[in-house]
C-alpha cells in the first residue's frame, strides 16, 4: 500500500465556497482510516506547481471576482505544470468556479477570463437565472454506472466542444447549461463538475475512486460506511432521485 496521497490544493483562500475544505477533509479521513498517509500543499497566486510532487490537484468553487484573480495565474504560472500532470494521468478535480477555468475561456459580459485549456469547453454568462438546486447525475466509474449527488449554484453555462466528454448525464437538476442534459467534463483523470455539496462527503464512493485512481490502486479496503451511505441517499432524495 503506498504510504501517502499527496494533494495540491489550488487557491484554497480564493476558490473555496460551498465547503470545498470538506472535500479535502473527506480525502484525508478516508486515507487515515486505511492507514494511508495524506499530505496537502497549497498553491496560491504566483506559486509554481510541481506536477511530479502531487497525485491529485484540486480547484474549488469561487465567485466571479475571485475567479478573475485566479484565471490569469492558472493560465500562465501553472499552465504547463497542470498540462504535464494531466498528461501523466494525475487526478485533477475542479468544482464549479474551478471547473469553469479548465476549458478555453469564461466569458463574463465584456470580460473574457482565460482558461487553462485542459479540456475542450467554454463557459459563458447568458441571460437567465442562476442555476441553483440539488442535482443528481449518472456517471461511469471503472466501467460501472454510479450516481453522484450534489448541489449546484452557478451563473455560468458551460458548453463542451466536439472533443470533450461529459462527466455524466443529468438525472435531476440543471447540469452544464440547462439544455443538453450533460454534467461536468471528463478527460481521463481530469474531472470538472458543478457539484458542490460538498461533493465528496455526499459521495464516499467517488472519494474512494479518486483516492484509488490517484494512487494507482485497483481497490481500497472497505470502510464501515453506514453514515456515508445515508448521507448519499439523503442527497439523492433531496434531488428527487
Residues taking part in catalysis: 96, 196
17 near ligand GLN, rule: CB under 6 A: yes
Q: How far apart are CA 176 and CA 194, in angstroms?
A: 7
**Residue 136, H or E segment:** strand 131-141
Cell 447568458, residue located: 126
153 near ligand GLN, rule: CB under 6 A: yes
Q: How far apart are CA 139 and CA 168, in angstroms?
A: 4
| Shortest Å distance, C-beta 99 to ligand GLN | 8
| Shortest Å distance, C-beta 143 to ligand GLN | 30
**Size, binding site for ligand GLN by CB under 6 A:** 12
Cα-based distances in Å from 122 to 97, 99, 177, 232? 12, 10, 11, 30
What count of residues does the chain have? Answer: 241
Q: How far apart are CA 199 and CA 207, in angstroms?
A: 9
Q: Which of 16, 67, 176, 203 binds ligand GLN (CB under 6 A)?
A: 67
Nearer to ligand GLN, 67 or 203 (CB): 67
103 near ligand GLN, rule: CB under 6 A: no
Q: How far apart are CA 241 and CA 164, in angstroms?
A: 27
| Shortest Å distance, C-beta 130 to ligand GLN | 6
Cell 448541489, residue located: 151
Site residues for ligand GLN, 25-64, by CB under 6 A, read 61-64
Q: Which stretch binds ligand GLN (CB under 6 A): 147-155, 159-167, 180-188, 208-216?
A: 147-155
Q: Which of 154, 174, 202, 232 binds ligand GLN (CB under 6 A)?
A: 154
| Shortest Å distance, C-beta 108 to ligand GLN | 9
181 near ligand GLN, rule: CB under 6 A: no
CA-nearest of 174, 208, 211, 212 to 193 is 174
Q: Which stretch binds ligand GLN (CB under 6 A): 69-77, 137-145, 150-158, 227-235?
A: 150-158
CA-nearest of 150, 154, 148, 108 to 132 is 154
155 near ligand GLN, rule: CB under 6 A: yes
Q: Which of 36, 74, 96, 167 binds ligand GLN (CB under 6 A)?
A: 96
97 near ligand GLN, rule: CB under 6 A: yes
Nearer to ligand GLN, 51 or 62 (CB): 62
Q: How far apart are CA 18 and CA 114, in angstroms?
A: 23
**Residue 112, H or E segment:** strand 111-114
Tell me whether residue 14 is exposed, middle or buried, using C-beta atoms within 10 angstroms of its C-beta: 0 to 12, 13 to 18, 19 or more.
buried
Residues in contact with ligand GLN by CB under 6 A are 17, 61-64, 67, 96-97, 153-156
Amino acid at each position: 500500500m503506498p504510504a501517502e496521497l499527496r494533494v495540491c490544493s489550488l487557491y484554497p483562500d480564493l476558490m473555496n465556497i460551498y465547503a470545498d475544505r470538506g472535500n479535502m477533509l473527506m480525502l484525508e479521513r478516508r486515507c487515515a482510516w486505511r492507514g494511508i498517509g495524506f499530505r496537502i500543499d497549497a498553491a496560491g497566486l504566483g506559486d509554481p506547481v510541481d506536477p511530479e510532487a502531487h497525485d491529485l490537484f484540486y480547484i474549488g468553487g469561487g465567485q466571479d471576482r475571485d475567479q478573475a484573480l485566479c484565471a490569469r495565474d492558472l493560465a500562465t504560472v501553472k499552465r504547463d505544470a497542470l498540462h504535464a500532470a494531466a498528461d501523466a494521468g494525475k487526478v485533477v478535480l475542479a468544482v464549479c468556479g474551478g471547473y469553469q477555468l479548465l476549458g478555453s475561456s469564461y466569458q463574463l459580459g465584456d470580460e473574457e477570463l482565460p482558461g487553462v485549456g485542459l479540456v475542450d469547453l467554454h463557459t459563458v454568462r447568458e441571460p437567465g437565472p442562476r442555476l441553483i438546486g440539488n442535482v443528481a447525475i449518472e456517471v461511469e466509474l471503472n466501467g460501472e454506472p454510479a450516481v453522484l449527488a450534489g448541489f449546484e449554484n452557478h451563473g455560468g453555462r458551460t458548453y463542451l466542444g466536439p472533443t470533450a466528454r461529459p462527466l455524466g448525464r443529468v438525472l435531476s437538476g440543471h447540469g452544464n447549461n440547462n439544455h443538453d442534459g450533460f454534467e461536468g467534463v471528463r478527460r481521463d483523470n481530469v474531472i470538472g463538475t458543478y457539484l458542490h455539496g460538498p461533493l465528496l462527503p455526499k459521495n464516499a464512493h467517488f472519494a474512494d475512486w479518486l483516492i484509488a485512481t490517484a494512487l494507482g490502486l485497483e481497490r481500497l479496503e472497505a470502510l464501515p460506511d453506514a453514515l456515508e451511505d445515508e448521507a448519499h441517499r439523503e442527497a439523492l432524495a433531496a434531488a428527487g432521485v
